Amino acid sequence: MNIDTLTLAAQILSSRSVSSSEHQMLSDVLVQAEIDESIRRVVQRIFYGIRHGMVQVTN
């Protein structure tokens, strides 16, 4: 799952857009108790981008 998450994160950051289902998947990743800290930081950066208008959520 970590590789899939990193691949998804790279895709999101390069396209600057995330679908609502991908957004939900990333939210689920953050609530996992045993998540690698580097994965957590990347996902948090994506949410930062969403909050500040740098990444758009699409349907």
> Where are the domains positioned within the chain?
2-58
pLDDT in tens, 4-23: 999 999 999 999 999 999 99
Is residue 56 a contact partner of residue 28, using CB atoms and an 8 Å limit?
no
Give tens-digit pLDDT for 21-42.
999 999 999 998 788 999 999 9
Closest CA to 19 of 51, 54, 56, 50: 56
Say yes or no to pLDDT of 54 above 90.
yes
Letter for the amino acid at 48? Y
